[in-house]
Amino acid sequence: MRCVFSLSLLVTALPSVAWAQAGETVVVVQAPEKTPPPPALVSAASHGADLTPRPARGLDWDLTGSLRVAGNRLAHFATDRLNTAHGQRYFWQSRLLLGGRMQMSTAVRVEVEVEALSGMAGGDPTTLGLAYTERPFSVARDGTADLARVVPRKAVVAYTGSLGQITLGAQTFSWGTGMLANDGAGDNPFGDSWLGNAVARLSVATKPLAKAAVSPFWQQLAVFGAVDAAIRDDNATLFDGDTALTSLIGVRGEHQGNALGLLAFYRDQTDRDDPRRPTLAASTAKIVGIDLWGKLRLPLDGSLAVTLEGELAHLRGATTRPWNDSTWQAGADVASWGAVGRVRLDCDNCRLTAQLDTGYASGDADPRDATARSFSMHTDHNVGLVLFDHVLPLLSARSVDQIADPLLSAVPPPSARFAVQQGGVQNAVYVFPTFRWRPLLPLQLRLGYLLALTAADYFDPYQSALHGGYPTGVGGKAQASGAYGHEFDAKITWDLDLAGQVVARLGAEAGLLLPGAVLDGLPGLGTPWLARGLATLRW
């Protein structure tokens, strides 16, 4: 059984004007002479199809939040050669965020935010994956139990003095492109965010060159260190019994759209109990990682700008998650790579943004050895709408069900829940161009195309078990490598200004997957598609 480990990172970021949490921007503003224009009717300079962020409600305070509801129709497709259906055809999803910020003094800032009513809100559940574990998916697909879970995303006090900033409390964060650490608050090209990283953290940051450097970039350079305990992220959930401690050091500079950052971190995680493990000791993962991120903005003229961005991560360490002939005594080594490259073109005059994303997440062509090579990008780093979010997770869940079949093995293997893909890019190389256009300011149109290939042979746990442990794809396809398929995505939204700086966004999106050679072992897969109706209130 291979080991998939997507690290939760932690960072205190440095914006161009003031100290801020990673993934946020704090701007010092003066009291406006007139009421600001409605958010949905203003186009942000040098940001193409993006809108200007809503101004804060007060100089020293703000209230924020959103309520999102989506109705989904997922096409029928077979998940094995027996034509077993996934069952989740019509279903509803929701997510509520409530937050606020108060600048108590020039030195002290307080922020709070909670998440509730998040997850499947009704409709057809799936039973896939439940034969092995009660919770095969991080975001439940088998019912509405997640709606009762309240997640403290922020409950933090930040003190800023002459030497730097100290923060303490529950916080969210993102780093770089969001490939590895993602706060779950971004606007994905397609699909939704669900599992933004939330941690209990103590961090210290300083700007060592603020007075000595001449260049504004070096003046804003921040050096930081932190320790945290995971509340919830892609790889650990405190509510379910996982415990994960992370420490890191890093450096980050950012000025006028240009940025460069480097993180080094260590994570020590103990997983929730697995009643199928032959030993009483829970599985563990001890990971050291390094993440390099950079961004360069190149203005072409008064209306056009090109932005180049890239992120590279390498994870090493040890884990006792896999349990096979090579790992049951000493566990497995971890050695995985992930990378994202991005080119973005913004045209302000035509309110158009064109973006080309490429990515790589290493796979594991030999799950029988003592090295876990598979890399998983964050599930909120959405790439497309159908393949990674629905098809591969449901296929993997069905495979795990078949492993748990007593006719195959009297004792199902431990750690099989880690073989259920959660929606992140894994064992893949992809190219993902997207286009966003606002022919009218409230109206936005989006188009996307995804070409996804395997980075190593595709590994179906059940079929591989039937074939003596050799990597075997769905339907028993030997040496399943090449194209996962071609996906076509489209989205349309309309923003409506309501009273009190509240914006309603209505829309719809859809995706169609044309399966490639990797998945042609399932004749009943057909051409999976997903259609969604969207409604969001933001304030």
CA distances from 113 to 145, 235, 243 (A): 21, 21, 22
Q: What is the pLDDT of residue 214?
A: 82
Contact 65, 536 (CB under 8 A): no
| Tens-binned pLDDT, residue by residue, of the chain (539 aa) | 445 444 333 333 333 223 433 333 333 333 334 444 444 454 444 478 888 888 889 889 999 999 999 999 999 999 999 999 999 999 999 999 999 999 999 999 999 999 999 999 999 999 999 988 888 999 999 999 999 999 999 999 999 998 999 999 999 989 999 999 999 998 899 999 999 999 999 999 999 998 888 888 888 899 999 999 999 999 999 999 999 999 999 999 999 889 999 999 999 999 998 888 888 889 999 999 999 999 999 999 878 999 999 999 999 999 998 887 787 888 899 999 999 999 999 999 999 999 999 999 999 988 778 899 999 999 999 999 999 999 999 999 999 998 887 766 656 677 788 889 999 999 999 999 999 999 999 999 999 999 999 999 998 888 888 887 778 888 888 878 899 999 999 999 999 999 888 999 999 999 999 999 999 989 899 999 999 999 999 99
Pairing state between β 428-440 and 371-372? unpaired
Contact 465, 436 (CB under 8 A): no
**Residue 523: inside a domain:** yes
DSSP letter, residue 54 = P
Strand pairing partners for 137? none
Contact 135, 146 (CB under 8 A): no
Cα–Cα dist 420/140, whole Å = 12
Number of H helices, E strands in the chain: 3, 19
Q: Which two tokens stand for residue 509?
A: 């999106």
Return the residue matching tokens 């007593």.
406
Four-CA torsion 115, 121, 124, 129, nearest 10 degrees: 20
Strand pairing partners for 269? 244, 285
Q: What is the pLDDT of residue 411?
A: 64
Cα–Cα–Cα angle for 39, 40, 45, rounded to 5 degrees: 75
DSSP letter, residue 490 = E
Cα–Cα dist 402/3, whole Å = 19
**Residue 24: inside a domain:** no
Domain count, the chain: 1
Cα–Cα dist 480/516, whole Å = 10
Pairing state between β 332-347 and 371-372? parallel
Reduce the secondary structure of 176-226 to three states and give it as a string.
Answer: CCCCCCCCCCCCCCCCCCCCCCEEEEEEEEECCCCCCCCCHHHHCCEEEEE
Contact 163, 201 (CB under 8 A): no
Element (H, E) at 462: helix 461-466
**Residue 26: inside a domain:** no
Strand pairing partners for 295? 259, 309
**Residue 354: inside a domain:** yes
Residue count (the chain): 539
Q: What is the pLDDT of residue 408?
A: 66
Q: What is the pLDDT of residue 504?
A: 96
Answer whether 0.85 is exceeded by the pTM. Answer: yes
Cα–Cα–Cα angle for 82, 85, 87, rounded to 5 degrees: 160
Of 230, 225, 274, residue with least CA distance to 249 = 225
Domain region containing 172: 39-538
| Residue 215: exposure state from Cβ atoms within 10 A (0-12, 13-18, ≥19) | exposed
**Residue 341: inside a domain:** yes
Q: What is the pLDDT of residue 409?
A: 64
The identity of residue 52, as a single letter, is T
Q: In terms of DSSP H, where are the helices of 342-459?
A: 392-403
**Residue 217: inside a domain:** yes
Residues 6+ apart with CB under 8 A from 403: 132, 409, 412, 413, 416, 419, 461, 462, 465
**Residue 360: inside a domain:** yes
Of 135, 91, 83, 139, residue with least CA distance to 115 = 139
Cα–Cα dist 227/229, whole Å = 7
CATH label of the domain that carries residue 521: 2.40.160.100
**Residue 27: inside a domain:** no
Contact 462, 399 (CB under 8 A): yes
Alpha-carbon torsion (342, 343, 346, 352), positive or negative? negative
